[in-house]
Amino acid sequence: MLRVGMLTSGGDCQALNATMRGVYKAVTNNAKEPVEFYGFEDGYKGLMYGKFRLLNDDDFSNILTVGGTILGTSRVPFKQIHEPDANGLDKVAAMKETYHKLQLNCLVMLGGNGSTKTANLLSEEGLNVITLPKTIDNDTWGTDMTFGFQSAVDIATRCIDEIHTTANSHGRVFIVEIMGHKVGWLPLNAGIAGGADIILLPEIPYDINKVIEVIEERDKQGKRFTIIAMAEGAISKEDAALSKKEYKKKLMNFPFPSPSYELAELIKTKTGREVRVTVPGHVQRGGAPDPYDRVFASRVGAVAGMYVLKKKYGVMVGYKDREMVAVPLKEVAGKLKTVDPNANIIKEAKSLGISFGD
């Protein structure tokens, strides 16, 4: 009997179900022995507290196009993984106990950076673990692509698309705040696809005067509006120059809902222009996966399923140069794939006239 545990961890995204379906189908269609799949509910919490259910064909029927996750998910911060829970439970020991109690041959984890840190820890503790790169931010190290990213880009792009008509009608400056706290792949791609005039990323601190210059130059050219695609984690050069302690103090007394509203107020004060902020927020994580993600998730899941059968553990299924590859978990854990300010995509965007405020 082959026993496989599976869980989804961290923030949800559009192609989690499609990926799990890929794993299940690849294993059950190719296994030479009976197979049991155990789905842990709400991420690592299910593994900790023994909350699981036996999965069968019905669970994976008609979920290729369904967003979210049939298993539920939650965030269990890695920095708290060694801290006992409210009842004194040793989280790592509890996860290992559940794994061994069910006599699992391996655990398949679908998650992003923080979740992969925990997966690597469990691997180091002797469990057989395979992970799959999930995040709308596309910031997982060791892979060119993560599932959920392209679907989120589609949604964020549509939001920018829709803003064009109202921005033009009213002659306003619009800031569209796109998800991306530490990394800017999502606002970068959505900004280019949506025809944003300015894209502000966490990796490229912006100069408010440069932003104003673009707006005023567009005014001189007779263009009625300016659209700014701004990462939620974008930061000004002044704030980037602060120490972590100083910046934390500023945020404690921050009078705005987010940095986008602070930027809006600065633009309004310096130019007298009408400025509006649009925040699509968690809409970017929701809905059905787009066709690209359905294909990509199916491929990632299929490869993970074959790794299960080949007993290829301690790896993440990555995507490099258009091919699936096995990346050691110890090389992935704790690393972020950030946008290089000197990357070709940045240079190409600038050649199109897009400003990054630098």
Query: Whose CA is closest to 68, among 283, 291, 281, 292?
Result: 283
Contact by Cβ (8 Å): 267, 275:
yes
Tokens (6 digits) for 72: 């539920």
Q: How many secondary structure helices (H) and strands (E) does the chain include?
A: 13, 11
> Where do we find the tokens 């033009």?
168
Other Cβ atoms less than 10 A from the Cβ of 22: the count is: 26
Residues 6+ apart with CB under 8 A from 129: 106, 107, 108, 109, 119, 120, 122, 123, 313, 314, 329
Helix (H, G, I), strand (E, B) or coil at 312: coil
Q: 3-class SS at 136?
A: coil
Q: Is 137 a catalytic residue?
A: yes
Provide CB contacts within 8 A for 204, sequence distance 6+: 184, 339, 341, 346, 356, 357, 358
d(CA 358, CA 347): 12
Number of residues in the chain:
358
Percent helix, percent strand, percent coil in the chain, to nearest 5: 45, 20, 35
The C-alpha R_g of the chain, in whole angstroms, comes to 22
For residue 320, the cross-strand partners are 323
- Give the containing element (helix H, strand E) for 13: none
SS3 call for 283: helix
The residue annotated as part of the active site, out of 12, 42, 137, 197, is 137
> Which candidate, 217, 227, 149, 219, places its Cα nearest to that of 194?
227
| Token duo for residue 297 | 């998730």
Q: Which residues are catalytic?
A: 137
